[in-house]
Amino acid sequence: MRAALLSALVSALILIECGVPSPEARDASSDDRTEERARMVREQIASRGVRDPRVLAAMEAVPRHALVPEALSDRAYADGPLPIGEGQTISQPYIVAAMSEAADVGPEERVLEVGTGSGYQAAVLSHLAREVYTIELEPSLAARAAADLARLGCTNVHTRTGDGYAGWPEAAPFDAILVTAAPDHVPDALVEQLAMGGRLVIPVGPRGGGQQLVVLEKTAEGVTRETLLPVMFVPLRRDPEE
Ligand code: SAH
């Protein structure tokens, strides 16, 4: 009983930690851009139909401006994707919210993200899940995201450099998997690494257009598939060394 209470307390602390400044820090820097985030949630996310209160709260909490390149900081809360280097992009805030809602992540769940990029989606997931595992193919992006997530205090996010096509078998199974780059078909390894009842949220389609965001769910009767909306993601690349 006491252990359960302690664990609930610890997860509550983790939930409010990632990217959220302490009251003292907030006093010291008055500009943590809380109002811009509240407007982003209202005008770009809730208005387009995202309802999950935990997702909306996470989107309000995570400082997107701390994860985009400094030169683009003034556009951090704009309604679109932004370049993050190496030809990659941080997704539009609405897409991050819609994918998080579709993944339906509970506070005790473990989640895998493929395509760490800036670390923003991982930071949002860190508010929703117990543990987040995120894998990035491009070493320089992986290193920068790992450093940024550590700086923000996202202690329940585990980062790795590698080809997410194969998932993260040592940490599987996952209650949810989010893929933030588009393959032309759903990788088998990711479906295999879903727990029973687990959800895989993934953009699928040819590069440069025609992609759909789909949600697969592993059930006792098999894998169900639902198409959510048309999207445009960078391609999920294969590791050239494999
Ligand atoms: N989720 C990110 C946005 C990701 S953009 C964010 O919140 O900022 C897609 C990312 O997927 C890019 O950084 C790209 O380098 C990475 N990527 C592409 N193919 C990959 C693969 N096979 N495994 C892991 N990461 C991959």
Residue spans of the domains in the chain: they are: 14-231
How would DSSP label each residue in 38-59? HHHIIIIIGGGT---HHHHHHH
User: Comparing C-alpha atoms, which of 184, 241, 105 is closest to residue 113?
Assistant: 105
- Interatomic CA distance for residues 236 and 180, integer angstroms: 8
163 Cβ below 6 A of ligand 1: yes
CA distance 159 to 143: 9
Q: How far apart are CA 104 and CA 13, in angstroms?
A: 21
CA–CA separation, 162 and 117 (whole Å): 12
- How far apart (Å, rounded) are the C-alpha atoms in residues 99 and 67? 19
Ligand 1 centroid, distance to 218 Cα (angstroms): 24
Cβ within 8 Å of residue 185, ≥6 positions away: 204
Provide the pLDDT for residue 15.
45
Rounded to the nearest angstrom, the distance between the alpha carbon of 197 and the centre of ligand 1 is 25
* Structure tokens, 161: 């450099």
- Any ligand 1 atom below 6 A from CB of 148: no
pTM: 0.92
Using DSSP's 3-state secondary structure scheme, residue 117 falls into coil
Q: Residue 236 CA: which ligand 1 atom is closest?
A: 19
List the alpha helices (DSSP H) in 18-170.
23-28, 34-40, 53-61, 93-103, 120-128, 139-151
Asked if residue 95 has its Cβ within 6 Å of ligand 1, the reply is no
- 55 C-beta closer than 6 A to ligand 1: no
139 prior amide bond cis, ω within 30: no
The per-residue pLDDT for 23 is 75
Residue 14's pLDDT is: 46
Residues of the chain short of pLDDT 50, as ranges, are 14-15
Q: 191 CB contacts (<8 Å, ≥6 apart)?
A: 200, 216, 218, 223
Task: Output the CA 56–ligand 1 centroid distance in Å.
Answer: 23
Ligand 1 atom closest to Cα of residue 239 = 22
- Of ligand 1's listed atoms, the one at least distance from the Cα of 165 is 22
**pLDDT at residue number 31:** 74
91 labelled catalytic: yes
When computed from its CA atoms, the radius of gyration of the chain, rounded to whole angstroms, is: 17
Atom of ligand 1 nearest to the CA of 122: 7
Q: Which of 22, 29, 91, 100 is catalytic?
A: 91
Instruction: Give nearest CA residue, ligand 1 atom 11.
Output: 115
Multiple choice CATH, 14-231, 3.40.50.2000, 3.40.50.150, 2.170.150.70, 3.60.20.10: 3.40.50.150
Place of tokens 């078998």: 169
Residues 166 and 163: their CA atoms lie apart, in Å, by 6
Report how far ligand 1's centroid is from the alpha carbon of 156 (Å). Answer: 19
What amino acid is encoded at 242 in this protein?
E
Write the residue with the smallest CA distance to atom 15 of ligand 1: 138
- Does the C-beta of 117 come closer than 6 Å to ligand 1? yes
Residue nearest to atom 14 of ligand 1 (CA): 115
Q: Are 152 and 14 in contact (CB under 8 A)?
A: no
